[in-house]
Amino acid sequence: MVGSAILRKLSALGFYNLLLYTSDELDLRDQQTVAHFFADQKPEYVFLAAAKVGGILANNTFRADFLYENLAIQNNVIHQSYVQGVKKLLFLGSSCIYPKLAPQPLKEEYLLTGLLEPTNEPYAIAKIAGIKLCEAYHDQYGCNFISVMPTNLYGYNDNYHPEHSHVLPALIRRFHEAKIAGEPTVTVWGSGTPKREFLFADDLADACVFLMESYNDPQLINIGTGEDLSIHDLAQLTKEVVGYPGELVFDASKPDGTPRKLMDVSKLHALGWHHTTSLKSGIRLAYGDFLSKLESGLF
């Protein structure tokens, strides 16, 4: 999702000399494969968006996979970027790096000031390691490696898996299937009270290109909207966009995760960047993407 959004942005700006491989063609978890790729192709700029990702169930179920595979991807790409003299690397982290009970909104300096949310701790630890690896290569070797922390993302080419997706694409699929089947209710995991912030992936791509061109500080920087809403309100909004006429049921026996995750984006705003896609407009675009993939037989 993020990689394709960055590709769309770069293409729209006229960049054409792009090195594009699928995960089947280039396994970033394999050290020798990555070393050969960098030695052969010698990229000048790297957007490191590749990661093993998933929602709360996937994070909590595949704990070893999320820690090992993300560490492998990061270590290989960041190290080879140093070895082959990449001019600049942008590493994409995640808002889950911040402590579970950190003050809100989440400022960059809150990193490593408290315990992590247990359900996604392995993924968060991997991302924290990536941030610190970029900082270390900057400090020791002078590499221009920067780290950005996006908030919760959604958009074109999202993962709509019924169990392993994030909350917003999961809701889109669930409401659509319930609408088609005429189901009277839809069950949403958790109490509905946690608050989350959502950023359209194409807005993230715009911010990443903006920061690649203008930001050279090894200290991480947040990317988000600075606005959040409860999962209850998110479900209601998604229900409205999809056109599902039934009722919502919240299953409080399922985990809520972190009570609130709102990013402090004052640092990014001070540089002159702001998001442009409203949540309702973005959900409409994402639902259209879901329908097009459904019609193409991709589910």
Residues serving a catalytic function are 123
Question: Nearest to residue 274, comparing CAs of 198, 203, 197, 200?
Answer: 203
Q: Annotation-wise, does 229 bind a ligand?
A: no
Q: Annotation-wise, does 273 bind a ligand?
A: no
Q: Annotation-wise, does 127 bind a ligand?
A: yes
Q: Annotation-wise, does 243 bind a ligand?
A: no
Q: Annotation-wise, does 165 bind a ligand?
A: no
Q: Annotation-wise, does 92 bind a ligand?
A: yes
Q: Annotation-wise, does 176 bind a ligand?
A: no
Q: Annotation-wise, does 196 bind a ligand?
A: yes
Collapse the DSSP code of 97 into the 3-class scheme (helix H, G, I; strand E, B; otherwise coil) and give the result: helix
Collapse the DSSP code of 145 into the 3-class scheme (helix H, G, I; strand E, B; otherwise coil) and give the result: strand
Contacts by residues 176-179 (CB-CB < 8 Å, ≥ 24 positions apart): 176/242, 176/244, 176/287, 176/290, 176/291, 176/294, 178/244, 178/246, 179/242, 179/243, 179/244, 179/245, 179/246
For 164, residues 6+ apart whose C-beta sits below 8 A from its C-beta are 54, 55, 57, 58
* 91 close to 130: Cβ distance less than 8 angstroms: yes
CB-neighbour burial class of residue 261 (10 A; exposed 0-12, middle 13-18, buried 19+): buried
Q: Annotation-wise, does 256 bind a ligand?
A: yes
Q: Annotation-wise, does 152 bind a ligand?
A: yes
For 89, residues 6+ apart whose C-beta sits below 8 A from its C-beta are 45, 46, 48, 77, 78, 81, 134, 143, 144, 145, 146
Token reading at 232: 């209850």
Question: Nearest to residue 237, comparing CAs of 281, 199, 189?
Answer: 281
Q: Annotation-wise, does 71 bind a ligand?
A: no
Location of structure tokens 């994402």? 286
Q: Annotation-wise, does 95 bind a ligand?
A: yes
User: Which residues define the annotated binding site?
Assistant: 92-95, 127, 150-153, 166, 174, 189, 196, 256
User: Which residues define the annotated binding site for substrate?
Assistant: 174, 189, 196, 256
User: Which residues define the annotated binding site for NADP(+)?
Assistant: 92-95, 127, 150-153, 166
